[in-house]
Amino acid sequence: MTHILAIDQGTTSTRAILFDGDLRPVTSAQQEFAQHFPRSGWVEHDANEILDSVLATAREAIDRAGIAPSDIAGIGITNQRETTVVWDRDTGEPVHNAIVWQDRRTADYCRELREAGFEETITSRTGLLIDPYFSATKLRWILENVDGARARAQAGKLAFGTIDSWLIWKLTGGKAHLTDATNAARTMLYDIAKGRWSRTICDRLDVPMDMLPEVRDCAADFGMAQSDLLGAEIAILGVAGDQQAACVGQACFKPGMLKSTYGTGCFALLNTGDQMVRSEHRLLSTIAYQLDGKVTYALEGSIFVAGAVVQWLRDGLHIIEAASQTQTLAESADPNQELIIVPAFTGLGAPYWEAESRGAVFGLTRNSGPAEFARAALESVGFQTRDLLAAMQADWADDAPPTLRVDGGMTASDWAMQFLADILGAPVDRPEVLETTALGAAWLAGHKAGIYPDQEAFAKSWALERTFTPQMPEHVREARYARWQKAVKATIAAI
């Protein structure tokens, strides 16, 4: 057995990447799936369609490699986090569409919890803030709004899981109801200090604990994928939420190391070691990874819209046909225009946490066109990243600008990465392997299978493709960031 299959189940598409014994990607396959927006601020997926995309891409990647499924030593799963699925234990069918992490339908209930003074309890146990982003209130919504769901849940007939748990259940034929510590940590139900589900929180949200999966290390035995699905029985040996998998894939194993992933959203994680840092700047304390029963913590900042703002240019405004066009447009934008897009399409994430905010555009002129919109869209990601890193530095008590390791689709744009370095005033390192999320999942599974090296050796294999260093004069950087902050304040004030 010489290969590892990494399943990267994202928000808008699923990818399967086959890695060889030297952790090199051999083949891959990708498939987009439908996004459902039943109401303003609501986002859903068809969980069965997600499963179908996983099976289709996995089979395609294996076929392209020309290997037998029995040559695969293990499967690593990484997934969009917080997205919530509830299914019937007997039939294996979801009782409702999956409610996506971007969904804001529970904003009113979250406000009630905060006004009742429950946020301190949530934060002290889970490291999170009360927000519709997380799984707990989505789960409660399903129990409250799907006919018969609460009664069936109380009778032990329903199971809850994030996407990793759903896939594990289906791949193992319903034999395994499991998750890993990183995904559990994103539900707003898991005590990350004690390493167990919180009965206090479950009782307050009226969530039956029998619905919850068993929590394991990121590299562990998660059951066997059935032979009729992928052509052979294959062990599932690695699981991590997408941002934590990217942290592993970037080899951010030492305290103080920082990575930021640019996919649909943007997520920055700062390794804080065995210390769970309590943020004073509305960041999240979370689990970076858990190996051999030992937890490594992180500070996290979450931006809801990064690559999604480019998708909006393509699918909403129809001013581009492909994401790659944004760089050429940005380069041609009128330097005298100062268009700012605050992409709060589904609210603002860290450090603002304004669920009711919606997107806004500032600085429009009669001459504003596709080039200016493209530049403002890319710049919005850099501005939001600076918001996160400023808060992280304050919490971590480190004045030195950190070197940021980046990954994800948007990092292929040299223009976007140069602006990121400019607005941060700090170096940005882009690795040779941009798909570090899948790489992290592959390493977890391959390390468990015994075919990949330990953390230290894996970290040495991390390879730099390019460093972007700041070129923007400081007075320009600070003036531009001040305009961004003013635009964000105006967006929040418009609620």
The reported pLDDT for the residue numbered 12 is 86
The reported pLDDT for the residue numbered 264 is 80
User: Do 319 and 312 contact (CB within 8 A), yes or no?
Assistant: no
CA–CA separation, 386 and 382 (whole Å): 6
CA–CA separation, 178 and 199 (whole Å): 18
User: What's the pTM?
Assistant: 0.86
The reported pLDDT for the residue numbered 391 is 86
CA–CA separation, 101 and 133 (whole Å): 5
List per-residue pLDDT tens for the chain, 495 residues long.
789 999 999 988 999 999 999 888 999 999 999 999 999 889 999 999 999 999 999 999 999 998 999 999 999 999 999 999 999 999 999 999 999 988 989 999 999 999 999 999 999 999 998 989 899 999 999 999 999 999 999 999 999 999 999 999 999 999 999 999 999 999 999 999 999 999 999 999 999 999 999 999 999 999 999 999 999 999 999 999 999 999 999 999 988 888 998 878 888 999 999 988 888 888 889 999 999 999 999 999 888 888 888 888 898 888 888 888 888 898 898 888 899 999 988 788 888 878 788 989 999 998 889 899 999 999 999 999 999 888 888 888 665 556 789 988 888 889 999 999 999 999 999 998 877 899 999 999 999 999 999 999 999 988 899 999 999 999 999 999 999 999 999 998 887
User: Do 286 and 431 contact (CB within 8 A), yes or no?
Assistant: no
Long-range contact list for 295-298, CB < 8 A, 24+ apart? Answer: 295/181, 295/192, 295/195, 296/253, 296/271, 297/127, 297/192, 297/271, 297/272, 297/273, 298/244, 298/247, 298/269, 298/270, 298/271, 298/272
Sign of the dihedral through C-alpha 400, 405, 409, 413: positive
The reported pLDDT for the residue numbered 277 is 87
214-216 and 196-197 strand pairing: unpaired
